Amino acid sequence: MTRFSMKDHAVIITGASSGIGKELAFRYAKEGAWLALAARDKTRLEVVAEKCRSLGGKAISIPTDVADEKQCKNLVDKCVETYGKIDVLVNNAGITMWAYFEEVTDLKIMEKIMQVNYFGSVYCTHYSLPYIKKSKGRLVGVSSLTGKAGIPTRSGYGASKHAMAGFFDTLRVELKESGVSVTMIYPGFVSSEVRQRAMGGDGKPIGKSPVKENEVMSVEKCVDLMIPAIVSRKREVVMTLRGKLGMWLKLIVPGLVDRIALKAIRSGR
């Protein structure tokens, strides 16, 4: 894996209490980063922060619901108050769903997903941007292959991830001459807790992952692929061979991509 140094870099990571955000925080901590960690669960978040400190980094935990604009501003303010700057913002917080649209009985889940996944990224980026520009730093959006193609059972989630892609792709052009890089991350299925907390059509957590978690990408592998892309200021990274192939096939035989997506959901991997 590409070597990197985050020593004395101030990094905000949202969704840092578990999964990809947690693993990324540990990696950055080992490199001496100054971390501002955000998530809703205060207790779990502080456990991650303490581990980061033991690994050699600095870390503060800032309980944050990214769906709340004021809390996003507070996150940025606390980071700047503590470290005096922001070098990297990783927009990783997210929620998902698992239901065909016709099964949705509570449309509030569509609003909630958009508020967390899309507007949470917008809020954090808006308040961080002046500091990121000053440091000529890095903006990172953790999306999903669902942000590249339509995936059954994920209509609201896919809409939010497509929105993220449009937002950050536009920012990349706007910031082209500023020295700020924008990197979009497009994982496939990654083994984490996110699907256990996924909402069903009634808006309640489904409680059990419908994916064969032991057969999909680990968070460690996902972060292995993320870090070089962020370090090298890469435009985007599509993580799986199926995802890369799908992007090409979508241009030529889009119907086949639809069938592949449906098969992936039905097989759970």
Q: Catalytic residue positions?
A: 157
Inter-residue contact 117 to 91 (CB < 8 Å)? no
Between CA 193 and CA 200, with CA 195 as vertex, the angle to 5 degrees is: 140
In terms of Cα–Cα distance, which of 140, 106, 110, 114 is closest to 125? 140
Inter-residue contact 38 to 16 (CB < 8 Å)? yes
Instruction: State the Cα–Cα distance between residues 13 and 238, nearest whole angstrom.
Output: 20
Rounded to 5 degrees, φ, ψ at 194 are -60, -35
Q: Return the sign of the alpha-carbon dihedral for residues 177, 135, 24, 146.
A: negative
In terms of Cα–Cα distance, which of 74, 51, 48 is closest to 61? 48
Rounded to 5 degrees, φ, ψ at 55 are -85, -5
